[in-house]
Amino acid sequence: MTRFSRFSALGASFYSPDLYRDVVFRWKGIGGLYLLLLLAITWIPSPARWHFALRSFAAADSRALINQLPAIAIQDGVMSANPAGRHVIRLADGERDEVAAA
């Protein structure tokens, strides 16, 4: 079984089962921390993609949805909408026909 340095292990973690054996048996006290660091590094693209998608939605599409919402008032613990009744919010891109809001 080969020994891996801390820096060469980052690259080898994608293809080498020997690395994980080395981490378990020889890296006393740092093996779990290393695996958590590797997990955090591999998860970076997902939140970045979510951030840019949400930012794009907030800049372009959210205003059209907000303009369709009725005026809402809460008085003495009772909520009322003006106009009263069921409200239908239509999405601009046509993915789904409607989202119902009571």
90 located within any domain: yes
56 located within any domain: no
51 located within any domain: no
CA 46 to chain centre: 6
Phi, psi of 89 (to 5 degrees): -110, 120
55 located within any domain: no
| Counted domains in the chain | 2
pLDDT over threshold 80, residue 24: no
Chain segment 45-89, per-residue pLDDT in tens:
899 999 999 998 888 878 888 888 888 899 999 998 888 888 888
53 located within any domain: no
Give the per-residue SS3 of 55-101: HHHHHHCHHHHHCCCCEEEEECCEEEEECCCCEEECCCCCCCCCEEE
Query: What is the domain extent for residue 70?
Result: 62-101
20 located within any domain: yes
25 located within any domain: yes
Distance CA 13, CA 35 (A): 9
